[in-house]
Amino acid sequence: MKYFKISLILTVMLLIVSCSGTKKQVLYVFNWTDYIAPELVQEFEKIYNCKVNYDTYNSNENMLTKMKTSNAAYDIIVPSGDHVTILKQEGMIEELDKSKLENYKNLSASLLKKSEQFDPDNLHAIPYFWGTCGFVYNKKYMSDEEMQDVSWNLLGEERFNGKRSVTMLDDAREVVGVALIVNGYDPNDFSDEAMEKANQTLLEWDKNISQYDSDSFKNEVQDGTIWFGQAYNGDALQVMEENENIGFALPKEGSTLWIDFLVIPKNAENKELAYKFIDFLLSAEVAKENALYVQYASPNDAAFELLPEDIRNNKSIYPDESYLDKCYLLLNAGVDVLKVDKIWQYIRNN
């Protein structure tokens, strides 16, 4: 009996050592900066006893370049709609098995319908957040009254010439897109006439632009380094939550309308855990908490119903249908992206 007990103790100790030496599963996520509530990542790690390695990018173009040139194998990436189309056409993302997504039913039918313009039948991508872009501004320099009925052409006004107190996003389609809109064109119009008008407008605006950046404005608009700049609505609202002297305005001409998606790359090494992460983010309570953190519009109907009334009624997050009618989804430009890139590279580098 004594030898049996010793043998049993040794067996248990070996099992403990063996289990403690087991490596945790690792989920590799590639996402925009400030685009998920950190505590939700920690909660997921705890529930599934795993580790989430989280890398970030600040433009779709940077994300796509890294996906094509790096050996990194991400399990989840978060492209905007037009880049979902590109990734799909190049065979870089998985067709999804929705039977593994119990919470898929929470998604808005109307958002899924819009999403089909990028991903027919919603086979490859799950809507994550959607929104618009407009102006973030410091009220010390730009009054609420002035910004109430503002035009995109504010970017080119002579009073800002040389002050370098204005920024635009580091996103070719967004920047060229609003220049097309202000000239009366759909931002998916790549005709020579439309491109020339947009180019002329951007050359005028560029005289006032200090930089094209999608992140640094969050600090610079608060300290007065910039007075106002083009910003995604959720990013602006995050800053407004920290600083009451910051405002956000949607220009009267209309704006771009974007949808960002969760997708699984074909070279992902932990696809099963990726499905679990996506389904976790689609659950009503988690999606609500995430929406409160990122301040963007949720495509999750179940989460929307849980949001505070002041959030559901906030027109900077959920604009009226009359304004959304003046907003345009940025579709895949195909070979015409070369026309956009030519304009973009010139204003970025001169």
The tens digit of pLDDT for each residue in 261-275 reads: 999 999 999 999 999
| Alpha carbons 343 and 190: distance in angstroms, whole number | 12
Looking at the structure, tell me whether residues 120 and 30 fall in a common domain. Answer: yes
Looking from the CA of 259 toward its CB, the CA atoms found within 13 Å total 30
Q: What is the pLDDT of residue 70?
A: 86
Asked if pLDDT for residue 5 goes beyond 90, the answer is no
The tens digit of pLDDT for each residue in 140-155 reads: 999 999 999 999 999 9
The number of helices, as runs of H, and strands, as runs of E, in the chain is 16, 10
Looking at the structure, tell me whether residues 334 and 216 fall in a common domain. Answer: yes
The answer to whether 107 and 127 are in contact (CB under 8 A) is yes
- Confidence label for 22 from pLDDT (cuts 50, 70 and 90): low
In a domain, 6, yes or no: no
In a domain, 16, yes or no: no
Greater model confidence, 343 or 164 = 343
Whole-structure pTM value: 0.84
The two tokens of residue 2 are 């004594």
The tens digit of pLDDT for each residue in 299-335 reads: 999 999 999 999 999 999 999 999 999 999 999 999 9
| Alpha carbons 265 and 316: distance in angstroms, whole number | 32
Instruction: Match 């007075």 to its residue by tokens.
Output: 227
Looking at the structure, tell me whether residues 305 and 344 fall in a common domain. Answer: no
Greater model confidence, 156 or 15 = 156
Asked if pLDDT for residue 187 goes beyond 80, the answer is yes
Q: What is the pLDDT of residue 12?
A: 44
Looking at the structure, tell me whether residues 269 and 335 fall in a common domain. Answer: no
| Alpha carbons 245 and 240: distance in angstroms, whole number | 7
Looking at the structure, tell me whether residues 246 and 338 fall in a common domain. Answer: yes
Range of the domain at 229: 132-257+326-349
Dihedrals φ, ψ of 255, to 5°? -155, -175
The answer to whether 331 and 187 are in contact (CB under 8 A) is no
Quote the number of domains for the chain.
Answer: 2
Asked if pLDDT for residue 2 goes beyond 80, the answer is no
Dihedrals φ, ψ of 113, to 5°? -65, -45
In a domain, 3, yes or no: no
| Alpha carbons 183 and 137: distance in angstroms, whole number | 23
Looking at the structure, tell me whether residues 206 and 110 fall in a common domain. Answer: no
The tens digit of pLDDT for each residue in 238-263 reads: 999 999 999 999 999 999 999 999 99
Q: What is the pLDDT of residue 6?
A: 45
| Alpha carbons 227 and 165: distance in angstroms, whole number | 5
- What number is the average pLDDT over the span 175-198? 98
Looking at the structure, tell me whether residues 263 and 125 fall in a common domain. Answer: yes
In a domain, 302, yes or no: yes
Looking at the structure, tell me whether residues 310 and 345 fall in a common domain. Answer: no
Looking from the CA of 349 toward its CB, the CA atoms found within 13 Å total 6
Q: What is the pLDDT of residue 72?
A: 83
**Is residue 183 classed as helix, strand or coil in its secondary structure?**
coil
The DSSP code sequence of 22-79 is PPPEEEEEEEETT-S-HHHHHHHHHHHTEEEEEEEESSHHHHHHHHHH-----SEE--
Asked if pLDDT for residue 117 goes beyond 50, the answer is yes
CATH of the domain at 161: 3.40.190.10
In a domain, 147, yes or no: yes
Looking at the structure, tell me whether residues 250 and 330 fall in a common domain. Answer: yes
Looking at the structure, tell me whether residues 146 and 182 fall in a common domain. Answer: yes
Looking at the structure, tell me whether residues 140 and 248 fall in a common domain. Answer: yes
Amino acid code (one letter) for 152: W
- Confidence label for 26 from pLDDT (cuts 50, 70 and 90): very high
The tens digit of pLDDT for each residue in 81-112 reads: 999 999 999 999 999 999 999 999 999 999 99
| Alpha carbons 2 and 15: distance in angstroms, whole number | 20
Q: What mean pLDDT value characterizes the chain? A: 92
Asked if pLDDT for residue 21 goes beyond 80, the answer is no
Looking at the structure, tell me whether residues 122 and 264 fall in a common domain. Answer: yes
User: Which of these, 280, 278, 269, lies nearest to 26 by C-alpha position?
Assistant: 269
> N- to C-terminal Cα distance for the chain?
86
In a domain, 5, yes or no: no
Looking from the CA of 147 toward its CB, the CA atoms found within 13 Å total 21
In a domain, 17, yes or no: no
* Sheet containing strand 25-32, strands side by side: 50-57, 25-32, 76-77
In a domain, 233, yes or no: yes
Asked if pLDDT for residue 14 goes beyond 60, the answer is no
Q: What is the pLDDT of residue 20?
A: 44
User: Which helix or strand (DSSP H or E) is residue 232 part of?
Assistant: strand 228-232
